[in-house]
């Protein structure tokens, strides 16, 4: 299993003070949840909605469904050695997923998109918001290192998010699935994102806290 630093395309979600979840929810700015109408049946899934007979790889806060051609890695924060994201390489694209605690009746994606937009602008990048089957998402052009293969240095990225019951799942996509108009690549990586299962648990957590990730324990996982 590979370990590496979180990708540069990730944008941190601000954390709140460690107060009890129920108290924070009373004061939380109520934002509508953003999710596909068929989320419960087509994903991303809550743990209670997932098919119990499927051989998911258990990573703690999320479970990943193995498929041919999928390469999984854990992204580690260098200063703390904490696992902070799951990286998935599939069909010419890279998908980084992170799951966060969220209120029962409010979503995080609308506010998070604005944070991402501000962060990209500060880096000198450009963002276009589009409406898709997943809901509103961001297509971004990020400044990058100039190479022989990429003389312009720019990198394309997509930022997607879905609000679930008491959780929020965010994805950052690079590669073929981040290019506008690349329908086949986008469909493939979106299908992977929608197959993710989020394990929120019953422990009270402040909204925006990252759900803990761990090394896989599924039979046959490397």
Residue-wise pLDDT for 21-47, tens only, equals 444 444 444 578 999 999 999 999 999
Q: Find out whether 164 and 44 touch, Cβ atoms under 8 Å.
A: yes
Q: Find out whether 198 and 62 touch, Cβ atoms under 8 Å.
A: yes
Q: Which residues of 175-200 are buried (b: 16+ CB within 10 A; e: fewer)?
A: bbbbbeebeebbebbbebbbbbbbbb
Sorted by sequence, the CB contacts under 8 Å of residue 18 that are 6+ apart come out as: 206
pTM above 0.85, yes or no: no
pLDDT of residue 18: 40
Token code pair at residue 173: 């996509």
Alpha carbons 167 and 68: distance in angstroms, whole number: 28
The fold of 3-8+40-198 is: Protein Transport Mog1p; Chain A (3.40.1000)
pLDDT of residue 144: 72
Alpha carbons 20 and 210: distance in angstroms, whole number: 15
pLDDT in tens, the chain (222 residues): 444 443 334 333 333 334 444 444 444 445 789 999 999 999 999 999 999 999 999 999 999 999 999 999 999 999 999 999 999 999 999 999 999 999 998 999 999 999 999 999 999 999 999 999 999 999 999 987 666 656 566 899 999 999 999 999 999 999 999 998 899 999 999 999 999 999 999 999 999 999 999 998 645 444
Alpha carbons 150 and 148: distance in angstroms, whole number: 6
Strands 197-198 and 45-46: parallel
Alpha carbons 99 and 168: distance in angstroms, whole number: 6
Angle at CA 200, nearest 5°, toward 198 and 206?
130
């Amino acid at each position: 299993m590979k370990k590496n630093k979180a990708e540069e395309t990730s944008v941190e979600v601000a954390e709140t003070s460690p107060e009890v979840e129920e108290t924070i929810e009373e004061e939380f700015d109520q934002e509508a949840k953003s999710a596909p109408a068929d989320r419960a049946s087509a994903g991303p899934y809550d743990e209670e909605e997932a098919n119990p007979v499927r051989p998911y790889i258990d990573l703690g806060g999320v479970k990943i469904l193995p498929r041919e051609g999928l390469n999984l890695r854990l992204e580690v924060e260098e200063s703390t050695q904490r696992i902070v994201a799951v990286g998935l390489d599939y069909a010419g694209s890279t998908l980084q997923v992170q799951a966060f605690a969220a209120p029962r009746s409010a979503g995080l994606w609308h506010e998070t998109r604005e944070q991402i937009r501000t962060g990209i602008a500060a880096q000198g990048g450009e963002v276009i918001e589009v409406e898709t089957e997943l809901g509103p998402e961001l297509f971004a052009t990020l400044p990058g290192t100039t190479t022989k293969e990429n003389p312009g240095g720019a990198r394309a990225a997509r930022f997607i998010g879905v609000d679930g019951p008491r959780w929020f799942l965010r994805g950052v996509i690079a590669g073929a699935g981040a290019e506008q108009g690349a329908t086949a690549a986008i469909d493939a990586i979106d299908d992977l994102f929608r197959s993710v299962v989020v394990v929120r648990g019953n422990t009270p957590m402040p909204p925006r806290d990252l759900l803990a990730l761990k090394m896989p324990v599924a039979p046959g996982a490397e």
